[in-house]
Amino acid sequence: MIRRARDLILVVNSGSSSIKFAGYQSADLALVFQGEMAGIGGPEETGQILITGSQGEIICDQQAALNDISAAAHRLVQWLKESGMLGRVRAVGHRIVHGGVSYQNATVATSQVIKDLSRLVDRDPVHLPAEIKTVELFRDLLGRSVVHILCFDTAFHRTIPVASRTYGLPLSVRRLGVQRFGFHGLSYQYVSQRLGELDRDATERKTVVAHLGSGASLCAMVRYGETARSIDTTMGFTPAGGLVMGQRSGDLDPGVLVYLARTLGMDAHEMRRAVEFEGGLKGISQKTGDMKILLEGEAAGDKQCTLAIAVFCHHARRWIGAMAASLDGIDDLVFTGGIGEKSAVVRQRVMTGLGYLGLHMIEPRNKQVREGLISSEISPKRVWVIPTNEQIVIAEAVQRVLEKGDQDDSTSESKRTIQAAIENSD
């Protein structure tokens, strides 16, 4: 469906205060540029626009007023126009965190799909509103010649068994769609593919991937080469569950929320703020959810920073054991995500005590390796570091949808959307 070698696939990953993006050449998915607009919604001229080329060279580095998502989207489109690339964009791939039960494949962003996602906002009020707004903005700004494809973080976990997916709640509640969905699926898909490239062992491998960042989760998967099937994961109905994260509490005794409602009179909005914005590492340290700053605080003798780091590492270690149990064993442990990729200190502390699973790493490798094994090559149990790349997974999905011109859950409207884009691209 994409017919010119110089056509671009634009990948957009939006958050409440930032938009990450990348451009890939459609013919071979070679990276053309990537960047981020950060500080959206901040004071005047405090937003940051950073764009780099395929070799990491800086193309744009400036401060700008990014009052809201709309302003950021307009600035990105303006940069594409000024750089001569706006007319090359033939498709946009959007990361969507929550697809609910209906959307488990990359899907054309029709008006009906947008309506369906709007009904899921109460399940993920942190990510979905910004993501839906971004899709609508780029649809308006780029015109009918561009197709928009939605790629869902929840899709990778559609293979989780019913026993892992089901909560211990009454049927009347479960019928509302309350179940474990799991997230970070685009990251897990990339890591499983990349691990298959690095590890040519064709046998079945029981693999636990630890995506550790400001948002953190683990996934238990069974891997055959570059193909993997999700078996269990730590996040649940929303991305707030599982591990302690930067600002999210992770799993709680449900009685805690009942207690807060009864004793402090907290309503749903106040409890959500405590759990999703004021909790986690930020809540424990009383300072920040940024692991780098916490490690600096620990070095300076700050006991609250030390406690926050200890809690984070303990939860990660505990959940690794739980994921290994879901797999009935473990062959590979992979660290990814901002913290998992970059912090040798955190990796070392998480690994402490996992020897009973046969997991050991070599400390010099832990400090030096940016991608690859940090355990011994001859060990049957392997530990890896693999930087994630959600953008390329989205670009690949967009390319597949456009080449096929259809997908399993497409509607007549989605077919018309692709055809209209082709007709208007000439």
Residue 36 CA to residue 296 CA, distance in Å, equals: 25
Burial 192-224 (b: 16+ CB within 10 A, else e): bbbbbeebeeeeebbbbbbbbbbbbbbbbbbbe
| Two tokens, residue 301 | 């003798």
Residue 181 CA to residue 194 CA, distance in Å, equals: 23
For the chain, the C-alpha Rg in angstroms (whole number) is 22
Residue 136 CA to residue 284 CA, distance in Å, equals: 37
Q: Which of 153, 199, 290, 332 is catalytic?
A: 153
DSSP string, 400-423: HHHHHT--TT--HHHHHHHHHHHH
Tell me how crowded residue 361 is: count the other CB atoms within 10 A of its CB: 24
| Two tokens, residue 393 | 């997974």
Residue 100 CA to residue 120 CA, distance in Å, equals: 7
* Residue listed under structure tokens 């926050």: 308
Burial 283-318 (b: 16+ CB within 10 A, else e): bbbebbbbbeebbebbeeebeebbbbbebbbebbbe
| Two tokens, residue 83 | 């750089």
Active site residue 232: no
The kind and range of the H/E element at 271 are: helix 268-276
Residues classed as catalytic: 153
